[in-house]
């Protein structure tokens, strides 16, 4: 029951989540939507002919031959050289690579087209078009008018549809999706994953009131003494509401029925922050992934969402969840369904991948190396898996380039805003294995200060670099001074040496902070058996993890967990050995047909032991 409700308008008090992604609409699932998923038509356009004329000048808006305009023939002598017709159809959501073998390696533009009808928009209604993600660059048009463009392959975005361009029937929607890699993008040209292109996640029309809640959050206040709160059974929640504009209604209603909360909130500005004391709260944790139905009603829009409440923090060299020390029994995961060789996007896909993580007795997943679809984080909430979520600032980014920093910040903001209400997300990672240099460290520090300003309810990390000196693995990456968790990837026994070298491996951590292996792994072709010294055999990979599990017993006491690389074999253009890889990175503990390799059971046994030790 509420003990005390205090509301203050944030304009001076509260760092807000409304950054340059202020037009991003959150909790699409909880709104009035019309799905545009399903069959679309497409045109493949490797020469950008739909966008540029033969002199390679951008076509003007009314150019009949622009692919964003509906092809209309005046008479039988007329000439148009594009059309969206059978048999050129493609499923949305879904990468194009897995839908037709001609697309397997395709990197370029595909134009998507779909017609839709829409009931009359009421005077006090607005209509938005929302995309879960498009990899990599998207230009969106409706009835020949440009709605907007977006870069970034793994984060959501939306555009308002001006009512004056809307038709009652046959609205001509066109999306130009281009997955070409570029040195000045995020990620850059070199990645160890498949460059799946296209409209890879859900597409929705979203109907909202003229003045509506654009983004909102409700979390456990992270400054409270959580042990004291548990003892008194009295907790402080903090909330944040951002409207799409000035408030034309002074009241919003917050309801959490299971806690007996129904509260009128004073809305007296675009941004409102409030806090409230509640009793009898069950905290979210892997052991008890408690979620509450939270409803926020404003201007007739009833927004519902399941939200969990928890506190994550570090204390010296420990990670504490709800005030208790935890050990991160992690596993790294790419967003890929191996048996279909495609991007994951659905709830069923999330249940398959996270179900495998649970088979391992993991309590945490590293969603590498980019923000996964929202079904993954919402399913992690309900299954009780803690999440490391990451932007693809991966390897040799163009750190000197201010524009590249802006792109990284944009993706970071989109990731944080989308998942701000996901209790499972405990770590924001700003990158992976970026080479140490002063300019790189400044770039990454800028990202860390950006995310800390947006969100104080998660730990910040990144896969840092290890420095090998005098036979010691020194973890003194300068970026470690700015992260909460000191994380590194290590592959001793795969990239160099043999697994037995782990017996004498030494680690020195230059920071008095929790220390975490964000990757470790070895390759094995599923079903290939030989003696343990034979590379690519399951026995070699098994030996690798046996040695590593032993090594973990000898690590400094600030060792707080590991997320081995990787749950399941995944496609990579960089892995072309004709016998052992065939385009697959074989470090999965599970093969691409779902077969669990011998190493899987070594890690599971270790996690069973660690669970008993900590729980």
Among residues 67, 112, 235, 565, which is the contact residue for ligand GCU, using CB under 6 A? 565
Nearest approach in angstroms of CB 584 to ligand GCU is 11
SS3 23: coil
The distance of closest approach from Cβ of residue 120 to ligand GCU in the complex, given in angstroms and rounded to an integer, is: 50
**Closer to ligand GCU by Cβ: residue 356 or 570:** 570
Q: Which is nearer to ligand GCU, 192 or 414 (CB)?
A: 192
CB 417 within 8 A of CB 24: yes
User: Contact between 192 and ligand GCU (CB under 6 A)?
Assistant: yes
Query: CB 355 → ligand GCU: shortest distance, Å?
Result: 22
Residues in the chain: 615
- For the bound state, the minimum distance from the C-beta of residue 27 to ligand GCU, rounded and expressed in Å, comes to 31
CA distance 516 to 205: 42
- 483 forms part of the interface with ligand GCU (CB under 6 A): no
18 is written with which tokens?
């409304």
- Residue spans of beta strands (DSSP E) within 164-256: 171-178, 203-209, 213-220, 234-243, 251-256
Read out DSSP for 184-199?
TSSS-S--SS----B-
Q: How far is CA 563 from CA 114, 430, 457, 497, 518, in A?
A: 41, 17, 21, 21, 5
- Residue 585 touching ligand GCU (CB under 6 A): yes
At residue 93, φ and ψ (nearest 5 deg) are -75, 155
Each residue 512-531 as x (binds ligand GCU by CB under 6 A) or -, in order, gives -------x------------
507 forms beta bridges with: 473
In angstroms, give the least distance from the CB of 566 to ligand GCU. Answer: 7
Which tokens go with 203?
A: 């597409």
Total binding residues toward ligand GCU, as defined by CB under 6 A: 9
Binding mask 359-398 for ligand GCU (x = CB under 6 A): ----------x-----------------------------
Instruction: Output 308 or 499, the one with its CB closest to ligand GCU.
Output: 499
Is position 305 an interface residue for ligand GCU (rule: CB under 6 A)?
A: no
Pairwise CA distance, residues 313 & 328, whole Å: 13
Nearer to ligand GCU, 139 or 369 (CB): 369
- Residue 334 or 409 having the CB closest to ligand GCU: 334
If one asks whether residue 587 binds ligand GCU (CB under 6 A), the answer comes out as yes
Tokens of residue 452, six digits: 């800390």
Minimum distance, C-beta of residue 518 to ligand GCU, in the bound complex (Å)? 8
The reply to whether 434 sits near ligand GCU by the rule CB under 6 A is: no
CB atoms under 10 Å from CB of 369, counted, come to 24
Owner of token pair 């690389």: 565
Which CB, 26 or 332, lies closer to ligand GCU? 332
Q: In 392-465, at which residue ranges do the beta strands (DSSP E only) sit?
A: 425-432, 459-464
**Residue nearest ligand GCU by beta-carbon distance:** 192
Q: What is the C-alpha radius of gyration for the chain, rounded to an integer number of angstroms? A: 25
Q: Compare residues 261 and 397 and give the one whose CB is closer to ligand GCU.
A: 397
| 142 closest CA partner among 158, 163, 166 | 166
Among 49, 98, 410, 432, binds ligand GCU (CB under 6 A): 432
The distance of closest approach from Cβ of residue 135 to ligand GCU in the complex, given in angstroms and rounded to an integer, is 17
> Judged by CB under 6 A, which of 26, 195, 389, 489 binds ligand GCU?
489
CA–CA distance, 195 with 223 (Å, rounded to integer):
41
Indicate the DSSP class of residue 443.
H
For ligand GCU, the closer of residues 350 and 393 by Cβ is 393
Q: For residue 166, give both structure tokens.
A: 């809307």
- Minimum CB–partner distance for residue 436 and ligand GCU (Å): 15
Q: Which two tokens stand for residue 243?
A: 């409207």
Site residues (vs ligand GCU, CB under 6 A): 192, 369, 432-433, 489, 519, 565, 585, 587
């Amino acid at each position: 029951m509420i003990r005390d409700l205090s509301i203050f308008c944030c304009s001076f008090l509260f760092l807000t989540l409304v950054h340059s992604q202020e037009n991003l609409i959150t909790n699409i699932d909880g709104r009035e939507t019309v799905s545009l998923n399903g069959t679309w038509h497409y045109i493949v356009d490797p020469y950008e002919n739909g966008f540029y004329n033969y002199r390679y000048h951008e076509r003007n808006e009314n150019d009949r031959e622009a692919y964003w305009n509906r092809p209309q023939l005046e008479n039988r002598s007329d000439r148009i050289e594009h059309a969206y017709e059978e048999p050129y159809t493609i499923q949305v959501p879904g990468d194009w690579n897995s839908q037709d073998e001609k697309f397997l390696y395709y990197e370029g533009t595909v134009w998507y087209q779909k017609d839709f009808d829409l009931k009359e928009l009421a005077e006090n209604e607005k209509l938005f078009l929302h995309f879960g993600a498009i990899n990599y660059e998207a230009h969106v048009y409706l009835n020949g008018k440009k709605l907007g463009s977006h870069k970034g392959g793994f984060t959501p975005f939306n555009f308002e549809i001006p009512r004056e361009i809307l038709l009652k029937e046959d609205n001509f929607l066109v999306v130009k999706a281009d997955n070409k890699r570029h040195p000045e993008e995020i990620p850059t040209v070199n990645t160890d994953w498949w460059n799946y292109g296209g409209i890879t996640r859900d597409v929705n029309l979203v109907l909202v009131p003229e003045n509506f809640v654009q983004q909102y959050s409700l979390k456990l206040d992270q400054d409270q003494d959580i042990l004291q709160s548990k003892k008194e059974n009295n907790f402080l929640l903090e909330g944040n509401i951002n409207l799409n504009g000035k408030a034309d209604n002074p009241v919003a209603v917050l309801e959490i029925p299971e806690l007996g909360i129904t509260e009128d909130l004073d809305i007296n500005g675009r941004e409102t922050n409030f806090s409230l004391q509640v009793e009898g709260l069950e905290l979210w944790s892997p052991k008890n992934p408690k979620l509450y139905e939270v409803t926020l009603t404003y201007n007739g829009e009833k927004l519902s969402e399941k939200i969990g409440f928890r506190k994550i923090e570090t204390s010296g060299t420990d990670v504490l969840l709800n005030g208790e020390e935890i050990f991160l029994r992690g596993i790294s995961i790419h967003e890929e369904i191996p048996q279909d060789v495609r991007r994951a996007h659905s709830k069923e896909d999330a249940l398959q991948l996270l179900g495998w993580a649970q088979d391992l007795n993991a309590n945490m997943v590293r969603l590498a190396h980019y923000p996964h679809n929202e079904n993954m984080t919402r399913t992690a909430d309900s299954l009780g898996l803690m999440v490391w979520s990451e932007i693809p600032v991966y390897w040799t980014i163009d750190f000197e380039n201010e524009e590249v920093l802006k792109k990284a910040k944009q993706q970071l903001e989109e990731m944080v805003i989308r998942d701000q209400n996901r209790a499972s997300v405990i770590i924001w990672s700003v990158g992976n294995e970026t080479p140490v240099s002063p300019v790189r460290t400044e770039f990454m520090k800028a990202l860390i200060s950006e995310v800390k300003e947006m969100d104080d309810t998660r730990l910040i990390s990144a896969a840092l670099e290890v420095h090998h000196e005098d036979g010691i693995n020194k973890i003194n990456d300068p970026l470690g001074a700015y992260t909460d968790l000191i994380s590194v990837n290590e592959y001793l026994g795969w990239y160099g040496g043999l697994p037995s070298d782990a017996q004498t491996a030494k680690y020195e951590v230059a920071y008095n902070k929790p220390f975490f292996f964000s990757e470790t792994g070895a390759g094995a072709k599923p079903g290939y058996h030989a003696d343990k010294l034979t590379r690519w055999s399951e026995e070699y990979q098994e030996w690798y993890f046996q040695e590593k599990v032993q090594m973990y017993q000898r690590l400094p006491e600030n060792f707080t967990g590991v997320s081995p690389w990787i749950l399941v074999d995944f496609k990579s253009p960089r892995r072309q050995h004709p016998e052992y890889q065939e385009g697959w990175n074989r470090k999965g503990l599970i093969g691409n047909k779902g077969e669990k390799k011998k190493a899987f059971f070594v890690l599971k046994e270790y996690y069973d032991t660690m669970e008993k030790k900590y729980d």
